[in-house]
Structure 1
Amino acid sequence: MKKFIYIVSFLFSTMLFAQNQNLFEEGNTLYNEGKYAEAIDKYTAILETGNHSAGLYYNLANAHYKLNHIAPSIYYYEKAILLNPDDTDIENNIAFAKNMTIDAIDVIPEVGLSKIVKNTTNTLSFDSWAKLTVALVFCFVILFLVYYFAYSTLVKRFTFVSSLVSLFLVCVALAFAFHKYNLDKKDNPAIVFVQESKVMSNPNLRSDEAFRLHEGTKVQVIDAYDDWKKIKLSDGKTGWIISDDIKLLKEF
């Protein structure tokens, strides 16, 4: 019975993959013909099957960009870059899309040690830092074993010092791994999806208006209460926005 279920699942997955591949190619053809709305329908149909990829989001963003859909184009470019952060084409296109936004929000620059630590932490993903830590632990163990069983004084000195250096690097890599994990956990970006949204000082419509945001603006969600989300801008401003006015980027 289990074997039969595995076979059915495999056949279903194969059929779904073939179907999505056909939809993707049809979407690309429509896009090349200038039929951007129809291309969006094809790409969206793939998303509805639970298939997600940087290429799919990139093409979907391009189609929205051609139709001057500010929020959706930025939203899908941002999702594409989450899955493929090193793609320069995505970075270039998202820069063009952001030129369509209204809000000009300054970025508070980080300086000193905090900037160095953050930049170093972001050079690798959490998984990469974890793998580096494991590799360094392996090096430490090998060097320590060589030190323990070596007869030569010179070899003992070299492996002893090297093992201490490896152990130190293990601690450093582990610290960066945990720091990266915490940064990723706090990172909860979203895109404003309405033409204009009032950001309030408290999570209710009776409170004072703090400021207004327009479609396509990227914010950080730092808290939630009922139908409200507390957001923070890159210039440090905070406020409460109606949940339906934004779409979270990390929801796949």
Structure 2
Amino acid sequence: MLRTIIISIVIFFHSLAAQSMADLDRPEETFKKGTLLLNKNKYKEAIEQFTTLINQKQFAPELFLQMGNAHYRLQNIGLAALSYRRALLLKSNSAEARQNLELIKDKTGFVDTDPSDSNQILSLSNESLIGTLLAISLWLIGIGIALIILKIRHRKSAFALLIVGSLSATLSTFLSKARDSSRPDHRTNIVIKNDSTAHTGPAQSASTIIKLPPGSSVILVTARDNWSYVKLPNELHGWIKTESIQSLWPYDPEFSD
């Protein structure tokens, strides 16, 4: 009976660890497929593959970088800028993403509501690193529990495994929370449409406040049907068509209203 319980515990922890590692491996195939399509100039198909990963919350700077490259090739300048900004959210020292974003800024002259928006990108813990750390901690905890129950010699080593495993699990949790709490204002939206304009009222006939080239950032205050009230550069406020903007980071539950 005791032997069955021990085996069940070990299998449980090892299955959790194996699942964590498997979850890290599967997205790589989809990403490789998308990259291959991108290299073959099949940009729309590549975007479909990358979007699948994003919908699964498999975020990585390389993913958003390639998404931006695909959109740029299709002349979707606003969506390309959005993707490059997202890449920089995850890896602020991504030279290629920053260079491409600067190229778009030179081309369109986009503006930022907050002057620091373009640089308000923090280096966040890599998703795969957190997952790997969690998997290792589960293995260590499982082995430690098994050694203690079996009353195998070197109990100090067993307790050491439990302590190290627990510390690793705590660290992975801390890194995950630190990553989520270090993001820019969740209300930040990026202009993705060409010829977008902010107006004094929610109507096309209202007076123009400012033109917003694709790639510009605004802060969403409230949305009303087809129009959104946003904060603009120079402490201005105005209305812009909702279809013209997209949230900088719409996938994190911490940012949902």
Q: TM-score range by the shorter chain?
A: 0.5 to 0.7
Structure-1 separation of matches of 2:242 and 2:55: 22
Alignment of 1:83-162 (within 5 A): 83-101=90-108, 105=111
> Which residue of 16, 36, 39 corresponds with 2:43?
36
Q: Return the alpha-carbon distance in structure 2 between the equivalents of residues 47 and 95 of structure 1.
A: 24
* Greater Rg by CA: 1
For 1:72, which of 68, 79, 94 is the aligned residue? Answer: 79
TM-score, normalised via structure 1 length: 0.58
Q: Is the 8 A contact 2:186 2:249 kept in 1?
A: no
The one-letter amino acid paired with 2:250 is E
Q: Does 1:209 align with 2:216?
A: no
Q: Tell me, yes or no, if structure 1 residue 192 matches structure 2 residue 201.
A: no
Q: CA deviation at 1:194?
A: 2.8
1:198 Cα deviation (Å)?
4.2
Q: Deviations over 1:163-198 (max 9, x none)?
A: xxxxxxxxxxxxxxxxxxxx9775742112233344
Partner residue of 2:250? 251
Which amino acid is the alignment partner of residue 218 of structure 1? S
In the alignment, structure 1 residue 23 sits paired with structure 2 residue 3: no
How far is 1:16 from its partner?
3.6
Separation in structure 2 between the aligned mates of residue 108 and residue 12 of structure 1, nearest angstrom:
42
RCO higher in 1 or 2 (8 Å CA, sep ≥ 6)? 2
> Match for residue 231 of structure 1?
230
Worse-superposed segment, 233-242 or 20-29? 233-242
Q: Gaps (5+ residues) in structure 2?
A: 1-7, 124-181, 252-257
User: For residue 221 of structure 1, what is the aligned residue in structure 2?
Assistant: 219
Q: Distance in 1 between matches of 2:187 and 2:67?
A: 22
Q: CA deviation at 1:220?
A: 2.1
The 1-side partners of 2:233 and 2:40 are apart by 39
Q: 2:34·2:50 contact (CA, 8 Å) conserved in 1? A: yes
Aligned residues: 184
Distance 1:123 1:70 in 2: 20
**Contact 1:70/1:100 (CA < 8 Å) preserved in 2?**
no
Q: Distance in 2 between matches of 1:185 and 1:30?
A: 32
Query: 1:215 offset after TM fit, Å?
Result: 5.5
| Deviation sequence 1:46-86 (CA, Å, 0-9, x none) | 11211111111111111211222111100100111111122
Query: Which blocks of at least 5 consecutive residues in structure 1 are unaligned?
Result: 110-117, 126-182
SS in 1 for 2:222: strand
The CA distance in 1 between the partners of 2:26 and 2:20, in whole Å, is 10
Q: Is the 8 A contact 1:219 1:231 kept in 2?
A: no
Q: TM-score, normalised by structure 2?
A: 0.57
Contact 1:191 1:246 in 2 (8 A): yes
Q: Is the 8 A contact 2:218 2:230 kept in 1?
A: yes
